[in-house]
Structure 1
Amino acid sequence: MATETHTPRTYGNWRKPTSPGLMGLGSLGTMLLLGGLIFMVFVVMAAGLAAGIVVGASLGGMLLVLLVKDKHDRNLLSRMADRVGWWNTRSAGSHLYRSGPLGRTAWGTFQLPGLAAPSRLSEHTDSYGRRFALIYVPFTGHYTVVLGTEPDGAALVDSEQIDIWVAGWGRWLANLGDEPGIEAASVTIETAPDTGTRLRREVTTHIDPDAPEFAKAMLNEAVNRYPAGSSTVKAYVAVTFSASARSGGKRRKPEEMGRELAARLPGLTQGLGSTGAGAAHPLTAQELCEVVRIAYDPASAVLIEEAHAAGQVPELTWPDVGPTAHEASWGSYVHDGALSVSWSMTAAPRGNVQSGILSRLLAPHRDIARKRIALLYRPLDAARAAGLVEADLRAAEFRQTSSSKPSARDALATRQARATAAEEAAGAGLVNFGMVVTATVLDSDKKPDAVAAIDNLSATARLRLRLVHGAQDSAFAAALPLGLVLPKHLKVPVELREQL
């Protein structure tokens, strides 16, 4: 008999778009270099050699700020800008937040802070009769729908089925680029300790009063001991749409957007069924309020679950889900009796990896009370993707040919850019992606353990994570299933940063 062996499938070839330039500079940096050299020549001709030396030293200092980079590929200018921005935030007192009747807000509610402060929530019904929450952010003109999923997991699943799920997820992301009006999508995986309320309710409602005492004692012991050390895993998919039907068009109101999304939501939820996400359903306004409230106040999770176990629904509104108080520091974020630390991904895994590369990072950890992994996606339409991959290929070829002895990294980057352009020309979709990792502990003394745990887990996932300095509150909000598109909130556009 002939036996067929299955080779594990690998994935890779992730590329970060680059800008053509000299000496590791981008387009703007190269223009600054050439313009500075020309200006220095004119200064030498007009004012002499001494003045030219001064101009040359000034130009060298400016270029040094752009050329000195750390392991996360961030130059000295970006780090200085972060430090200056943090000083301004502390001087203005914006790192502190007090809400509620005794807070600083004039309306006396527990409004969400930071980037999510101007968001509004409404509820609509889709074509299947399901209620769904719709988040509107007026500043960016975005609407977000949050889908709750029940992932099947990879335990006791053969590799062929996992490959099918991964392929289905790739098709789902690629189809987002063809969907009209979609700005971004995010996947949030949250692990938290199990309170045991659901198990207690399930056991107590099914115990037979006439059962033997030994059986009752065994069940009661299982109820008391099982929640200790166990955890729950929840997954959410947030899809963000533009309020304008076309670029420069009129923004649609929540009622108009709700009617349009009512017909599109069934297709989005059904498409997730082939990705291993399980049964997907849109979250109602009440469910979304509970998710956000528990994120800012982990202690409320027990109260909310006990209320559901008693058959009561804790009425929460959008102005009441924010924290009572918070304090953002340079490297951590304190909110309602909990402390959180957030990281952002600066480099994807190099080389080829298998589909389970993130399994340990996504799994619960004993040193972290609540862990939240947010994968952020920004799909590109076919027209923009074609121009982007061609520009990236030209930039990679320019860097390789600009030196008589190109480095191995430049040669590899050119091959990867050429492969990406070929795949896009064959019909593959192009998606920009990132990751935000948030670890929450209930005791500030456990912060070093949580930081060490994330460092070890990121190493197993072959990811390069950087602590979000000076913007911990914004990173915490970005990891929530709120559909916040971070590049739209930056004062300096991402395109301009990449050109430096």
Structure 2
Amino acid sequence: MVQVTIESNTASSNRTNTRTYGNWRKPQSAGLFGLGSLGTAFLLGAMIFTVVVVMVAGLLRGVIVAAGLLVVFLALVTRDAHGASLVSRISTRIGWSATRAQGQHLYRSGPLGRALWGTYQLPGIAAATRLSEHTDSYGRPFAMVYTPATASYGVVIATEPDGAALVNQEQVDLWVAQWGHWLANLGDEAGVEAAAVTLETAPDSGARLRREVELNTDPQAPAFARQMLGEVVQRYPAGSSTVKAYVTITFSATTRTGGKRRDADELGRDLASRLPGLTAGLQATGAGAARPMGAQELCETIRVAYDPAAAGLIDEAHALGQTPDLGWPDVGPTAHETSWDGYRHDGAFSCTWSMTGAPRGHVQSNVLARLLAPHRDIARKRITLLYRPIDPARAAAIVESDVNAAQFRMSGTAKPAARDVVAVRAAQATAAEEASGAGLVNFGVLITATVTDRTKAADARAAIDSLSATARLRIRPVYGSQDSAFAAALPLGLVLSKHLKVPAELKDKL
């Protein structure tokens, strides 16, 4: 995850009044030789242990112990272009081998599947989720997804973004500022653990257009006009796409640390009065009409994600005025197979990438435009921005620790590198902005590309690599965890960092 301060003055203007954005930093821990605080403690402990071995067992055994510890030290400091250490990559490989050996990369559901209950429930980290529906103070139904493993509830808000076409730059800058304020205010919301923005592009089935034309066509219209409308209905959907956007907010089931867990009904009553304010704030960010998603609509969204072929059937049903009978036990795939760098589910194949480096320097507001746009080589593309708001009580300590870590790295050598000097300035700027009232947010990005033909997977990978370069993002496939990353990119309210066996805070300090 990468940290960014949310405030209007984080944007700078050049001579042409083009506003740019930046100053995001990856959390770091003070240490020696590129290590964190825990890694440095391990290094010092290893040196002391080696001296003790030399004094007790002799020089030869001390050299052997020092050589073994040196190998471990090199495995910790040797990192690839994405910042992953050799220890991390080896542990990932071992975990993947254990997963394959136990057959956990395969999933079969339904009456003929391996599940004893014979349903099509979600696999992996989303298997235990439960769905409930409630009504807010405006009388709108909203669905809540409960994740027992993390004791959290996810609420999904459907939005209809206005887009930037024919919109002047001043309005775009205002939308970005309002979005920053909305994210910063999440840190003040009681119980908010995370937020996610999911933008999905997919081919248009044309069912809605056909139904609309049929309902509004006059039987007495000239034959030429009716023929022209029929040709439009047949040809227009061939190259068109639909863009859907969802905002998922994850709330904790407990009001405080060690407090009593609230059930779905209790939390639903609490959120009933809070959701109208959250949706109203989203409308000011350019998200368009924002409304909470009901249980039926959420079931259809998740079902289509795992089985893209169902999208046409669901659109046809809605065009005929019918509602598909879908429940939460029916939205999972019939079968899936997870590979090292891909995920096969029902009749589709997907690959998910994660962001390992935010854009360096400053970027403009349209930096993600090409990445979010539909692409001809990708049947369905899902971009999910993950946010972890940090409450103001912790934000001050975090930015001060980051300043101390940056200064420690710069002062650790007689001739500090230019990057270390710039890092100190950026850390100090972040601390100054936080002290003036800015919010602090951890963020990450997941990119999922889905194709219905396995032979087109290579084209989809090449397209994502090209699009990520235009967005100035450094990404890599989520090796060995494609099924979990696929589920995390869906609007389910999953918080990946809480599903890790080794906490993310501990990894950052190695």
2: distance between equivalents of 1:187 and 1:44?
56
Q: CA offsets per residue over residues 104-143 of structure 1, 9 Å max, x none? A: 0010000000011010000000000000101111110001
Q: 1:492 aligns with which of 478, 489, 502?
A: 502
1: distance between equivalents of 2:406 and 2:499?
29
Counterpart for residue 355 of structure 2: 345
Q: Which amino acid aligns with 2:63?
A: I
Task: Please state whether the residue corresponding to 1:144 is helix, strand or coil.
Answer: strand
Q: CA offsets per residue over residues 15-39 of structure 1, 9 Å max, x none? A: 0010100000111111111111111
Q: Which amino acid aligns with 2:132?
A: S
1: distance between equivalents of 2:239 and 2:91?
43
1:425 aligns with 2:435: yes
2: distance between equivalents of 1:38 and 1:79?
28
Deviation at 1:305, TM superposition (A): 0.5
2: distance between equivalents of 1:33 and 1:145?
45
Q: 1:332 aligns with which of 320, 323, 342?
A: 342
Deviation at 1:46, TM superposition (A): 2.1
1: distance between equivalents of 2:49 and 2:505?
26
Counterpart for residue 12 of structure 2: none
Task: Please state whether the residue corresponding to 1:422 is helix, strand or coil.
Answer: helix
1:367 aligns with 2:363: no
Counterpart for residue 473 of structure 1: 483
Deviation at 1:196, TM superposition (A): 0.5
212-221 or 237-246, larger mean C-alpha shift: 212-221
1: distance between equivalents of 2:78 and 2:30?
18
Q: 2:132 aligns with which of 109, 119, 122?
A: 122
Counterpart for residue 109 of structure 1: 119
2: distance between equivalents of 1:59 and 1:326?
42
Q: Which amino acid aligns with 1:184?
A: A
Q: Which amino acid aligns with 2:253?
A: A
1:316 aligns with 2:326: yes
2: distance between equivalents of 1:48 and 1:181?
57
Percent identical = 68
Q: CA offsets per residue over residues 32-67 of structure 1, 9 Å max, x none? A: 111111111122222222112111101110101101
Q: 1:297 aligns with which of 284, 307, 315?
A: 307
Q: 2:211 aligns with which of 195, 201, 205?
A: 201
Deviation at 1:211, TM superposition (A): 1.2
Deviation at 1:467, TM superposition (A): 0.6
1:381 aligns with 2:391: yes
Q: CA offsets per residue over residues 165-198 of structure 1, 9 Å max, x none? A: 0000000000000001000000000000000111
1:53-68 to 2 correspondences below 5 Å: 53-68=63-78
Q: CA offsets per residue over residues 313-367 of structure 1, 9 Å max, x none? A: 0011001100000000000000011000000000100000000000000000000
2: distance between equivalents of 1:36 and 1:138?
40
Task: Return the TM-score normalized by structure 2.
Answer: 0.97
1:43 aligns with 2:58: no
Q: CA offsets per residue over residues 418-476 of structure 1, 9 Å max, x none? A: 00000000000000000100000000000000000000000000000011100000000
Deviation at 1:268, TM superposition (A): 0.3
Task: Please state whether the residue corresponding to 1:476 is helix, strand or coil.
Answer: helix
Counterpart for residue 145 of structure 2: 135
Counterpart for residue 393 of structure 1: 403
2: distance between equivalents of 1:256 and 1:448?
48
Counterpart for residue 455 of structure 1: 465
1: distance between equivalents of 2:397 and 2:84?
26
1:165 aligns with 2:159: no
| Structure 1: gaps of 5 or more residues | none
Task: Return the TM-score normalized by structure 1.
Answer: 0.99
Counterpart for residue 91 of structure 1: 101
2: distance between equivalents of 1:101 and 1:274?
47
Task: Please state whether the residue corresponding to 1:293 is helix, strand or coil.
Answer: helix
Deviation at 1:6, TM superposition (A): 5.5
1: distance between equivalents of 2:225 and 2:324?
34
1:280 aligns with 2:290: yes
Counterpart for residue 29 of structure 1: 39
2: distance between equivalents of 1:255 and 1:53?
64
Q: CA offsets per residue over residues 229-258 of structure 1, 9 Å max, x none? A: 110000000000000011110000100011
Paired positions, count? 496
Deviation at 1:7, TM superposition (A): 1.1
Runs of 4+ in 1 over 3 A off after TM superposition: none
2: distance between equivalents of 1:45 and 1:334?
57
Task: Please state whether the residue corresponding to 1:71 is helix, strand or coil.
Answer: coil
1:146 aligns with 2:121: no
Q: Which amino acid aligns with 1:109?
A: T
1: distance between equivalents of 2:131 and 2:55?
64
Counterpart for residue 19 of structure 1: 29
Task: Please state whether the residue corresponding to 1:121 is helix, strand or coil.
Answer: strand
Q: Which amino acid aligns with 1:241?
A: F
Give the root-mean-square deviation of aligned CA atoms. Answer: 0.7
2: distance between equivalents of 1:333 and 1:35?
42
1:257 aligns with 2:267: yes
Counterpart for residue 91 of structure 2: 81
1: distance between equivalents of 2:118 and 2:431?
54
2: distance between equivalents of 1:462 and 1:311?
44
2: distance between equivalents of 1:468 and 1:17?
21
Task: Please state whether the residue corresponding to 1:235 is helix, strand or coil.
Answer: strand
Task: Please state whether the residue corresponding to 1:14 is helix, strand or coil.
Answer: coil
1:266 aligns with 2:285: no
Q: Which amino acid aligns with 1:183?
A: E
